[in-house]
Structure 1
Amino acid sequence: MNSLHIDSVTKSFGNKIILSDIFMSCNKGEIKGLIGRNGSGKSTLLKIIFGTEKAESKFVRVGNKVIKNNSDRKNLINYLPQDNFLPNNISIRTLIHLFLRKENRPILLENEHIKPLLYKENQHLSGGERRMVEILLIVHSDAEFILLDEPFNGVSPIIKTYIIDYIKKLKASKGFIITDHDYENVISLADTIVYLQNGYLKPIDDKSELIDLGYISRATFDNVYK
């Protein structure tokens, strides 16, 4: 079974070290939650793994294949950015045909939430509808590992629940790394959690550790996790 292996990731902006010798791995069948305060470098780390952000050093491998450039990650790693990425003035149906292989298209073309949107152009969708389309396109790509950056941003509670359930169903065939400011859903969705602070990643074995780290209050912990 392939795994995504990330090692020796270092990134600075000026004199500020954002990421310091980061190590992380993700297996197929695993949902890994990446949490941390705003500005801690979570999005930067995902971009470096995907290859759209340069780093002073990095090592990324999927199975036995070392990822050295963008072509190496084809069909292995895909990334949902924070910002909307689909072009305007194109119907959702056309976008599905452009982004997915023929074998994968029927899943979305027949999806109960996507069917009403098929003949609408992207710019005419609500923010939540756009996000849902983007997520479903990314997770149904051929990539074995999916990086999701703020997937729940602007999504209604109903669609948020739908996306969470959807990802859980797909995890048998893919690995996921997910980060979102909506940490409660990330924590509830994830099989394993890592916390990014001051440039370092810390595995979280027990959710109560987040209190000691000052990430959540005792009152919040008692209300949500007890």
Structure 2
Amino acid sequence: MSKIHIDSLTKSYNNKVILSDIFISCDKGEIKGLIGRNGSGKSTLLKIVFGTEKAESKFVRVGNKVIKNISDGRNLINYLPQDNFLPDNISIKSLINLFLQKENRKIVLENEYVKPLLNKKNQDLSGGERRIIEILLIIHSNAEFILLDEPFNGVSPIMRDYIIEYIKKMKSSKGYIITDHDYENVINLADSIVYLQSGFLKEIKDKIELVELGYMTKTTYNTVYN
């Protein structure tokens, strides 16, 4: 089974270490939840893995292939950034035809939420509609591993639940690393969880550890997980 392996990843800003010797891996068919406080470096970590941000050091491998730059990772790793990335003045149907290969286009073109939007331009969509289009394009790309940064940003509760179920449905064919400020949904969606704090990554084996680390209150833990 294919795996993405990230090791020895270090990043500093202005002589301050943001990410220190990070190790993280994800199997195909696995959803890995990446959680941590705002500003802890979660988005930076995903950008470095994808190749759009540099690091002092990193080692990324997918299967037997070492990924040294964004070109090496083409068709292996894809990334959903926090901010909208699709051009405005193009119809949704054209974007789907542009971004996806033929075998994947039909799936997205016939999606129940996408069909009413096909003839609209991206600039005319709501923030939530844009997000679902972006997520579907990333998930149905040829990449084996998907990095999702704030996938629930700007979407309604109904669309958030749809996205969660869609990711679960599609997880057998890809591996996912997901981070979002809506940490409860990340925790509930993920097969395994890692916590980023002060530049270091910790594997969470039991949710009670998040209380001990000061990330979650005991009241929240008792209400949601007990």
TM-score normalized with structure 2 length = 0.99
Shift of 1:69: 1.7
What is the match of residue 15 of structure 2? 15
Query: Which residue identity lines up with residue 43 of structure 1 in the other structure?
Result: S
Deviation readout 1:86-129 (Å, 9 max, x if unpaired): 00110000000000001100001100000000000001000000
Identical aligned residues as a percent? 77
Whole-angstrom distance in 2 between the partners of 1:88 and 1:215? 38
What is the match of residue 207 of structure 1? 207
What is the match of residue 126 of structure 1? 126
Whole-angstrom distance in 1 between the partners of 2:48 and 2:65? 17
Which SS does the other structure have where 1:147 is aligned? strand
What is the match of residue 161 of structure 1? 161
Shift of 1:225: 0.9
Whole-angstrom distance in 2 between the partners of 1:221 and 1:129? 32
List gaps (5 residues or longer) in structure 2: none
Whole-angstrom distance in 2 between the partners of 1:42 and 1:70? 19
Query: Which residue identity lines up with residue 221 of structure 1 in the other structure?
Result: Y
What is the match of residue 184 of structure 1? 184
What is the match of residue 68 of structure 2? 68
Which SS does the other structure have where 1:87 is aligned? coil
Q: Find out whether 1:83 has 2:89 as its counterpart.
A: no
Whole-angstrom distance in 2 between the partners of 1:96 and 1:17? 39
What pairs up with 1:77-156 in 2 under 5 angstroms? 77-156=77-156
Shift of 1:52: 0.3
Query: Which residue identity lines up with residue 21 of structure 1 in the other structure?
Result: D
Whole-angstrom distance in 1 between the partners of 2:219 and 2:189? 21
Query: Which residue identity lines up with residue 26 of structure 1 in the other structure?
Result: C
List gaps (5 residues or longer) in structure 1: none
What is the match of residue 171 of structure 2? 171
Shift of 1:16: 1.0
Which structure 1 residue ranges, 4+ long, deviate > 3 Å from structure 2? none
Deviation readout 1:136-165 (Å, 9 max, x if unpaired): 000000000000000000000000000000
Whole-angstrom distance in 1 between the partners of 2:107 and 2:159? 17
Provide the alpha-carbon RMSD of the alignment: 0.4
TM-score normalized with structure 1 length = 0.99
